[in-house]
Chains A and B, each alone.
With several copies, the nearest count.
Chain A
Amino acid sequence: MTMFHASTEQLELIDSFTRPLEELFAPARLHKSESDYGQWVTGAEFGWFGISLPEAAGGIGLGMVEEALLFEKFGRHLVTPGFMAASLAAKTAYLCGDAALAQQILNGELPVAMARQGAPGAGVTLVDAASAKLCLVLSPQGTALFHADAVVERQPLDAAQWSIPLQSARLAGNAAAHAATQKIGADVNLLLAAQLTGIAAATLDMAVSYSLLRQQFGAPIGSFQAIKHYCTDMAMQVQAAKDMLSFGAVAVAEARDDHRFQAASALVVATRAAFFNTAKNIQIHGGMGFSAECDAHLYLKRAHVLDTLAGGLKASRAALRRETSIFGKDAA
């Protein structure tokens, strides 16, 4: 039977697979420590870095549908983009035939950080890299895996501002990639979209809970139409992002003709959903939402970091423009 969406079985599997997140990755942890590298080995032990790689290669042997669902959960819990770096790095190494390197990444021996380069020769933005041994660089040219030392001239940006360590840096001129591929662009888009979708979903949940709890004018604020409509708009963003993600992930998993179009759409939809929902969530929380103690701003900031790793919404739109819709004029 043709699949179009994640199945109930896949959803349940990932639910059980990600149960440790609740305890180990409560978003509030970021008020104290901005880096998740203390949990790196844990991530490796749970098999989270190789969910869509074959078991023979040291992976879990599932597919991109499961991986997208996993990273949606990671988004909800604001798990470091390093985990995405690890998964994509292992895949890059594996696809380039370096099974040993892939295995080391999957084992957690070589922590990976993620960086974005806008154009060849341009600087990179490096995320959560202090303990990283490898660096996965995303650029319009594809995905390339470098030794961490290849990223030089690191200038730290104030970590407290973005609730995660950020650096602006440069790729050393003579740096050679361990592995590089142009083939996993759709995977990259899906994992970014998944995390952004998770952020949109988590902030919707936060907003609805708070709207039921918070009383003003003698009633829960969720009974006021303005708040209701904000929440509805957030829910529509989530529904669109989730279904688009699921649809796109199945298209990638089944290698359908339109899989790159669907994955690029998922990223554009999820990015906008995350920005819309994180901002509305702050507004609904009022003064509390603006305080550092509240989790609300953590989601907003992470959305910006993920969008930066995607190259920015403008770049995501440009990537979508390069694809052909199945409903394009020439499709008939």
Chain B
Amino acid sequence: MMPEMMPEMMDESPDDFRARARRWLRDNVPTEHPPVDGPESRAYALAWQQRQFAGGWAGLTWPRAYGGRELPVLQQIAWFEEYARAHAPSTHNALFVGMNHAGPTLIACGSDEQKAFHLPKIMQGDVIWCQGFSEPNSGSDLASLRTRGEVQGDELVINGQKIWSSYADIADYQELLIRTDPASSRHHGLSWVICPMDAPGITVRPIKTMAGPAKFAEVFYDNVRIPLANIVGGLNNGWKTAMATLSFERGTASLALQISLSQRVEELIAACDDVALGETLMDLRADAAALRAMSYQFAIKSESGPVGSEGSMIRLYFAELAQRVARVAIDIFGIAAPEVLAVHGLGYDYFDAYSETIAGGTAEIQRNIIAERVLGLPRGSR
């Protein structure tokens, strides 16, 4: 299925692009609320992705060769802004890993075969991906991971355990980071592997969170056999591949979330008549505006070459702003109000916000990374 191709897209103005996006979203955004977890959330996410793809709105910056639109990142931002404005389903859903981690990683490091096979499936809403990086003893210290893949012929035999794998229970594929050189340590000797979740030997145990839904899971690997051809970026070169993924996550992947955060702040401003909280809300309003300005800057810079660890700063700024917004919301509405919890996966859930400074590397580790890589401060022990 090819996306509908508007003839005017080639040379339409930014304003026209926006207007067209707004119209499409007005007519197509689902009115029913997204299910929070389980098979229903899979079906919902895939259907919504399929509709976007059919409308020509999926993979806006992805390569044309694999069905993407190869548009400038500012168009992508404009789309996200209209997307958030239209209260479209949160991008932080079951499609997130595919669209924002795995897809971009394949674009950057995948072989032609890998790209040709997987990118269209992701874009068209055929598959769900999940992440397999963290381990019980390697939370913030990713380089210490121990799940191992032994090369046997043209296969890897994988044994070990992953944790905090979001949507693993409903995923088709996993981006799996494992130790493939048994003699290696730290960030050497790892490989980034495409793991089909239906491979024999995989057991998934969902983890309920303090926010309620079981979005995360533990994944156990018992002699799971995966072809060597599923390695992305080269055997024992997984750290570099993984860093590419993380830099995407930390950069623009959360753009739509960032923008919907601005919107959330405006809702709170409208709902709040408390003077002291009103001052706090003005700080949040300004900070959300700054976050948008930072994201634009990052996106613009990322078009003219690889960007550094500044993405980590934006990610952390977003995480802490999201927590401050969630906290003010509960101060305004109280614990009994539906405006506070389970607000349809839009990232506004007060409890969910606690994960923002934990998932994808704790805020403390992010601060170390920024201090060392952006500011050039010396490594010390942590």
Asked if A and B touch directly (CB within 8 angstroms), the answer is yes
- Interface contact B163-A268, CB-CB below 8 Å: no
Chain A residues, CB < 8 A from B382: 216-217, 219, 221, 224-226
Q: Tell me the chain B residues, 208-229 only, with Cβ under 8 Å from chain A.
A: 208-212, 216
> In the complex, are the beta carbons of B282 and A223 less than 8 A apart?
no
Nearest B residue to A239 by beta-carbon distance? B313
Residues of chain B lying within 8 A (CB to CB) of residue A294: 210
CB contact list, B328-382 vs A, under 8 A: 330-331, 334-336, 341-342, 351, 354-355, 357-359, 362-364, 367-368, 370-372, 374-382
A291 near B: Cβ within 8 Å? Answer: yes
Contact (Cβ within 8 A) B283 A287: no
A125 contacts across to B, CB distance below 8 A: 334-336
CB-based contact B378/A226 at 8 Å: no
**What is the interface residue range for chain B against chain A?**
35 or more
Given the interface pairs A239-B313, A265-B289, the reply to whether A212 lies near B378 with Cβ below 8 Å is yes
In contact, B293 and A287 (Cβ under 8 angstroms): no
- CB pair B380–A261 under 8 Å, yes or no, is no
Contact for A297 among B14, B210, B290, B293, CB less than 8 A: B210
Chain B residues closer than 8 Å to A327, beta-carbon distance: 84-85, 259, 262-263, 265-266
Smallest CB separation, B271 vs chain A (Å): 10
Q: In the bound complex, do residue B296 and residue A217 qualify as a contact, i.e. CB atoms below 8 Å apart?
A: no
- Complex CA distance for A168 and B359, rounded to whole angstroms: 33
Q: Which residues of A contact B296 (CB under 8 A)?
A: 4-5, 243, 247
CB–CB A4/B74 < 8 A = yes
Name the prevailing secondary structure of the B interface residues. helix
Which of B139, B267, B335, B374 sits near A329, CB closer than 8 Å?
B267
Contact B371 A231 (CB under 8 A): yes
Give Cα A224 to B140, complex, Å.
13
- A314 B283 Cβ-Cβ under 8 A: no
Given contacts A215-B137, A227-B364, contact A283 B357 (CB under 8 A): yes
* CB closest chain-B residue, reference A325: B266
Contact, CB under 8 Å: B367 / A239: no
Contact of B270 with A279 in the complex, beta carbons under 8 Å: no
Asked whether any CB of chain B lies closer than 8 Å to the CB of A282, the reply is yes
Contact assessment for B279 and A314 in the assembled complex, using a CB-CB cutoff below 8 Å: yes
B233 to chain A, nearest CB (A): 25
Q: Let me know if A53 is at the binding interface, CB within 8 A.
A: no
B53 proximal to A (CB < 8 A): no
A125 to B144 CA separation, bound complex (whole angstroms): 48
Contact partner of B341 (CB less than 8 A), chosen from A161, A247, A269, A289, is A161
* A100 close to chain B: CB less than 8 A: no
B66 at the interface (CB under 8 A from A): no
Q: Which of A278-332 contact B (CB under 8 A)?
A: 279, 282-283, 286-287, 289-294, 296-297, 300-301, 304-305, 308, 312-314, 317-318, 320-321, 325, 327-329, 331-332
* Interface residue? B101 (CB, 8 A): no
Residues of A at the B interface (CB closer than 8 Å) are 2, 4-5, 125, 157-158, 160-162, 166, 168, 208, 211-212, 215-229, 231-233, 235-236, 239-241, 243-244, 246-248, 261-262, 264-266, 268-269, 272, 279, 282-283, 286-287, 289-294, 296-297, 300-301, 304-305, 308, 312-314, 317-318, 320-321, 325, 327-329, 331-332
12 contacts between A and B (CB under 8 A): A5-B293, A221-B382, A222-B371, A222-B378, A228-B367, A244-B290, A265-B290, A297-B351, A297-B354, A317-B283, A317-B286, A325-B265
Q: What are the nearest 10 A-B pairs in CB distance?
A: A223-B380, A297-B210, A247-B293, A228-B371, A268-B286, A317-B282, A265-B289, A292-B208, A240-B290, A244-B290
